[in-house]
Amino acid sequence: MTAPFYIIVGDDYRGFSDEDKAFVLSDFYEKMLKNQGWPETNAKVVLGQGVSYHDREFLSHTLKKRGVDNFYPLPEVAPLDVTHKRSQENVLISKPEKFSQYRYRFDLSITDKVDRLSDHVTGKHVGAMLLMEASRQATIAVLEDEYCSTAEVDYGLILDRFDSQFNGYLFPLPCTLDTSIEELRSSSKNITVIVKTTVSQCGTVIANINLDVTLCITKVLDKIEARKAQGVVKDLEQSFAQSDAQQLHIA
């Protein structure tokens, strides 16, 4: 007899749920409250996207108490320092899994707190902006591990180019990002690389996202950024001065 199979996704993806195998979180909770014997102890329960960290832990604890051993949660998310984020809620990838030099794998991990990037939610698929941000985080994570963590100097990252190609919809289910580094140039001052990420779901490639990045010594980069910041402030001041002069001339 085939074991029952259920998927849990966040309430933002209600359009994806079918009330048979795929449930939004609130409906899954409601059904558990009404039926203490559900889900069945031999059921396979897979956690999809859009569920908060609190609910992930609560589901794991509750299902275990009900004797459901086959619960498949999302892996632990990557640390803040390797993704350059300030809030864990904004981390979209799992801890990196390194296969060999320059080759890594991540799992997509979306909570219910990323409305800034997914404000156009259709209720069925994951928006492209989330995949692009997840790929950007994966890029930072692999460069931190491969270069920054072992370098004798501090590096800052400059994004030179961002290319993306989408082949289909990504649904709020488990998803992998395979990320590799291709080194183009290296000198005592900087390193230029292409970081390529392939986004896949259930064996199908959904997107290919490539970032050209230059790793620059932080002290040098800070000076460049400060100089450019001063320049744009000066340019803005001049543009307002010219605008004021034109208005006076018209008057």
Cβ neighbours for 124, distance < 8 A, ≥ 6 positions apart: 13, 15, 16, 169, 171
Given 14, 48, 72, the domain boundary residue is 72
If you average pLDDT over residues 119-134, what whole number do you get?
Answer: 84
**DSSP-assigned letters across all residues of 26-77:** HHHHHHHHH-TT-S-TT-EEEE-SS--HHHHHHHHHHHHHTT--EEEPPPPB
Residues 63 and 93 in one domain: no
Residues 217 and 104 in one domain: yes
pLDDT of res. 207:
98
| 117 confidence band (pLDDT: 50, 70, 90) | low
The CB density around residue 29, as the number of other CB atoms within 10 Å, is 16
pLDDT of res. 121:
58
Residues 99 and 202 in one domain: yes
pLDDT tens, residue by residue, 73-90 = 999 999 988 898 888 888
Q: What's the rounded Cα separation, in Å, for the pair 95 and 132?
A: 18
Residues 65 and 108 in one domain: no
Q: Contact at 8 Å (CB) between 47 and 59?
A: yes
pLDDT of res. 87:
86
Q: Does any domain span residue 147?
A: yes
Q: Does any domain span residue 93?
A: yes
Residues 127 and 177 in one domain: yes
Residues 163 and 215 in one domain: yes
pLDDT of res. 137:
97
pLDDT tens, residue by residue, 204-240 = 999 999 999 999 999 989 999 999 999 999 999 888 8
Q: Does any domain span residue 241?
A: no
Average pLDDT, the chain: 91
Count of structural domains, the chain: 2
Q: Does any domain span residue 167?
A: yes
Q: What's the rounded Cα separation, in Å, for the pair 61 and 64?
A: 5
Q: What's the rounded Cα separation, in Å, for the pair 55 and 25?
A: 9
pLDDT tens, residue by residue, 26-68 = 999 999 999 999 999 999 999 999 999 999 999 999 999 999 9
Instruction: State the residue range of the domain holding 196.
Output: 80-225
If you average pLDDT over residues 159-180, what whole number do you get?
Answer: 97
pLDDT of res. 249:
59
Residue 250 has pLDDT above 60, yes or no: no
Q: Is residue 60 classed exposed, middle or buried when 0-12, 13-18 and 19+ CB atoms within 10 A define those classes?
A: middle
pLDDT of res. 245:
64
Q: Does any domain span residue 251?
A: no
Residues 86 and 200 in one domain: yes
Q: What's the rounded Cα separation, in Å, for the pair 148 and 230?
A: 28
Give which of 200, 204, 190, 73 is closest to 135, Cα–Cα: 200
> Dihedral (C-alpha) 110, 113, 116, 119: value to the nearest 10 degrees?
80
Residues 67 and 87 in one domain: no
Give the CATH number of the domain where residue 116 resides. Answer: 3.10.129.10
Residues 53 and 97 in one domain: no
pLDDT of res. 57:
96
If you average pLDDT over residues 182-194, what whole number do you get?
Answer: 91
